[in-house]
Amino acid sequence: MSIFADNLKRLQEVQAISGIKDEEMKVLLEPVQNKYVELEIEGEKYPAWRILYNRALGPGKGGIRFHPEVSEDEVKSLAFWMTLKNSLADIPYGGAKGGVKFNPKGLSEQKLEAISRAYAHAFAPYLGQDKDIPAPDVYTNGKIMSWMLDEFEQVVGHHEPGMITGKPVELGGIKMRGDATAQGGYIVIKEMVSKFLAGKKNLSFAVQGFGNAGSFIAEKLAADGFVMVAASDSSGGVYQADGLDVSKLAQFKQAAGSLSSYEEGTKISNAELLETEVDILILAALENQITELNADKIKAKYIVELANGPVDFAADKILASKGTLIVPDILANSGGVITSYFEWAQNRTGQILDEEYLRVLLDKKMKANWTAVYEKYLAAENKITLRQAAYWLAINRILIAEKYRGRIS
């Protein structure tokens, strides 16, 4: 299954409802820069990509993932989503993404550092605070960003902390980056609940992908009285009808590295978690988790995409026909890139902003983005989905920028 082919179907769908011309749509059909190398470390080769999809609104921005299933199709799709996400968030970035195809689990720190540095060295000519700014993604973190920053600065011969985000505070990062994606998703869920589930108490939820973002958002929701009945990671999951102890589960995951040996509750598979009867299903794992093969089995009435692309095009159609409301990834998980923007802006200006001020700013921005999408959805008298509304807004901003640049008429 091509993820990118799925994206093109969604583009065509939005084009049909918005009246965008074919010549305008051409600027969104292919990336402007697609770079591939094979990193060679100790005789082993690692396929690696950096794809810049669009830069009409600013330099490229998007994470780097280390994963055994990384492919050009996936990286191109992720870069496409970043383009729309940054546009919808109204921050001055285009969209980009990177990846290295290998399994980082179990590798020594020395090997991870070698791969990280090799990536930064190979793609250094295409990266930079005014060109393309990477960040952490699946199986990458602040330590890996530090190695990449150091390698890049050795190549270019000067300090440039703004070339990468998600760094430790000591290297120019900001404290709130760790839970930024979860915080943004939490804000959007609260807005969604106020519009669609107002007055309802003890709302149940399940989290697929109980990692960094998934555990953070679970703790935030639990503190507000939501009840988590199921959670899973790549090793499997647990279910408890009357609610799991979120803090205890998060501490266990932090210590053990997976949920596989958690003794409380009933063990379930990822597939079973997706089909759990809950009010809100939070998808915080990988792409294509809900497809036409399981969409009709989904019982949750509300789905929040904290991961990128967890619901494919065919599943979107099935779920919409059932009345399931999906808060799309380009809205729900944009807290991470908005906070990356704060970090980049501080690195560029040298001005250190108070964390509380930035949290208030994130709150305002997420609420404004939700409101724009929700009002677009309402204006169409519920004849479009929240995803279509979000895509419509994001695409329109990009096309306006392309027109001002003279690339389309």
Q: To 10 degrees, what angle do helices 109-123 and 142-156 make?
A: 40
- For residue 206, the SS3 value is strand
SS3 331: helix
Q: What are phi and psi of 398, to 5 degrees?
A: -65, -45
Instruction: Give the side-chain half-sphere CA count within 13 A for 355.
Output: 9
Q: H helices within 326-354, ranges in order?
A: 329-332, 335-349
Helix 72-88 and helix 335-349, axial crossing angle in degrees, nearest 10 = 80
The single-letter DSSP state of residue 98 is E
- DSSP tag of 281: E
What three-state secondary structure class fits 314? Answer: helix
Long-range contacts of 350-353 (CB under 8 A, 24+ apart): none
- What ranges in 19-71 are assigned the alpha helix state H? 22-25
Q: Are 312 and 286 in contact (CB under 8 A)?
A: no
Determine whether 322 is an active site residue.
Answer: no
* Tokens of residue 266, six digits: 């009933």
User: Do residues 71 and 2 touch, judged by C-beta distance below 8 A?
Assistant: no
CB distance 273 to 298 below 8 Å: no
What is the token pair recorded at 256? 């053990």
Q: 275-302 in b/e burial notation, b at 16+ Cβ within 10 A?
A: bbebbbbbbbbbbebbbeeebeebebbb
Residue 185, helix vs strand vs coil? helix
- CA 249/CA 135 separation, integer angstroms: 27
Instruction: Report the amino acid identity of residue 390.
Output: A
Of 97, 167, 253, 376, which residue is the catalytic one? 97
Task: Map residue 60 onto helix, strand or coil.
Answer: strand
Q: Which residues are catalytic?
A: 97
